[in-house]
Amino acid sequence: MAAPTLVRGLGRLEATTIIIGGVIGSGIFLGPSIVARNVGSPGWSMAVWIVAGILATAGGLCYAELGAALPETGGTYQYLKRIYRLPLLAFLMGWMFFFVDGPGSLAAVATAFASYAGFFVPLSPLGIKLVAAGTLLVLVGVNVLGVRTGGWVQNVLTTLKVLVLVLIMLLPFLGTSHGSWSHFLDPGTVPAAGRLAAVGAAIVSASFAYSGWTFTSYVAGEIRDPGKGLPRGIIIGMGTVIVIYLGVIAAYQYVLPFAELASSSLVATDAMKAVMGDRAAAFVAASVMISTLGALNAAVMVFPRMGYALAADGLFFKGLEKVHPRYRTPANAIVVQGLIACAFVASGSYDTILGYFGFTDFVAYGLVVLGVLILRRREPDLDRPYRVLFYPVTPILFLALCTAYLGTALLGRPVESLIGVGLTLTGVPFYYWWARRRAA
């Protein structure tokens, strides 16, 4: 009797909602003030969000070409393995994503959801951890029950998220006394001599709010007609995200004087307070809960696929490669990563740990995007249902961002960056152990 396999249960809608839902989390509710402080003027602030969106889309389009040509579950791991023919390199990135980056991200998003839930039901620090872990386990159960079930939940949550954000975009402009167009004309405070460095730092910050554009690549093996569905999902999804982000930031800038926007620690709440009064805090808290829940479901769906792909190659814990005979999902991998994420929630150390791995994340993304150039030259006859737009400008543009980010990280946070590299390399002995077992 043949072992059960994954099914292609995701369509073009899910390919799109996974991108939108995975990218838009809590960043748009907090990040605009950070960018504004860096660049010092509304015009430059908007330009930063446009550039960061274009660069994230450039990376996503490169992943789309690889995902359409190599439609296998596992994303970054599968691409690195094929491009560089160095199984150890691919393994280390998969090791890092499954054990640290993935569960750390899950813990951070789940805790953000629980923290805002505390607005409606007072929660102690322990209560926040329990709500975060409970939410994680519920979504683990949802995604074990089938990729179609997880996809349906993703469609619903993403639809609610988009509706809420459209409301935030429109509310400030519906009345005549909520803001002023003069806020967009603020000349700013950053001197021209320091503008380039300030914009560069702001683009790096804004790029975090766009992270998630790789998500559909992890489930490429479960998308129907990935040659068309995956690239369309990324293009439509990232286009939607950019429009929403620019609309929401314009709403913030319309309502708040730029100096107030830049100094705000809760910019969404402050902006909506000018429109809705005392109801603003509850509205924003509910909005963040909806947004983070959608991002959490997308992450629970996609991150465990990395561990499944490693195990399917005989390079990971036995049992994680198994597909549930009824639900046709990598159930063991989903449950194990969910439990690791709950441990991160309990420890409360995910912020520090995630800070170590920003550098290695972009090393992985840069290597994959560079791989588009390598495979075009080495395998010109590879069937590519989708070819990245504006090649080779698109991958080169993203690699420029990647280089800038890595340089900034090494100069600004050298210790954290090197710790992340060191922690990633802890997988080396495990790789050789599993490789010897596979050979035997």
Q: What is the DSSP letter of 2?
A: P
Fold of 12-434: Amino acid/polyamine transporter I (1.20.1740)
Q: Find the farthest-apart pair of alpha carbons in the chain and give their distance in angstroms, rounded.
A: 74
Residues 160, 134: Cα–Cα separation, whole Å:
21
- Under 8 Å between Cβ of 38 and 189: no
pLDDT at 195: 63
At what angle are helices 27-39 and 195-209 packed, to 10 degrees? 180
Chain centre to alpha carbon of residue 150: 17
Angle between helix axes 393-412 and 42-69 (nearest 10 degrees) is: 120
Identify the helix (H) or strand (E) that includes residue 283.
helix 280-302
Asked whether the beta carbons of 388 and 372 are under 8 A apart, the reply is yes
**DSSP 8-state assignment for residue 100:** I
Question: At a CB cut-off of 8 Å and minimum separation 6, what does 127 contact?
Answer: 114, 118
Q: Which of 169, 167, 158, 164 is nearest to 286 (CA)?
A: 164
Q: Identify the pLDDT of residue 1.
A: 61
DSSP H or E segment with residue 231: helix 226-255
Distance in angstroms (rounded) separating the CA atoms of residues 140 and 189: 47
Taking alpha carbons only, the member of 162, 100, 151, 159 closest to residue 298 is: 151
Pull the structure tokens for residue 200: 């560069």
Residue 60 phi, psi dihedral angles, 5° rounding: -65, -40
Residue 68 CA to residue 56 CA, distance in Å, equals 18
| pLDDT per 10-residue tile (average), the chain, 440 residues | 85 95 88 85 88 89 92 92 93 91 89 91 92 96 96 96 93 76 76 65 80 90 90 92 94 90 86 86 92 95 94 91 94 96 85 75 92 96 92 93 81 82 92 89
Q: What is the pLDDT of residue 190?
A: 63
Which pair of tokens denotes residue 271? 């902006």
What's the pTM value of the predicted model, to 2 decimals? 0.92
Q: Which two tokens stand for residue 403?
A: 């280089």
Domain range annotation of the chain: 12-434
Task: Please tell me the predicted confidence (pLDDT) of residue 192.
Answer: 58
pLDDT at 156: 96
Residue ranges in 379-427 assigned as alpha helix (H) = 393-412, 414-425
Closest CA to 244 of 337, 164, 356: 164
> What pLDDT, on the 0 to 100 scale, is given for residue 252?
92
Note the pLDDT of residue 238.
92
Structural tokens at position 76:
């970054």
DSSP assignment letter at 223? B
User: How far is residue 340's CA from residue 318's CA, in Å, rounded to a whole number?
Assistant: 17
User: Can you give the pLDDT at residue 281?
Assistant: 87
Query: How many Å apart are CA 287 and CA 278, to the nearest integer?
Result: 15
pLDDT at 357: 77
Closest residue by Cα to residue 395 from 10, 83, 46: 83
Q: For position 183, what pLDDT does the model report? A: 82
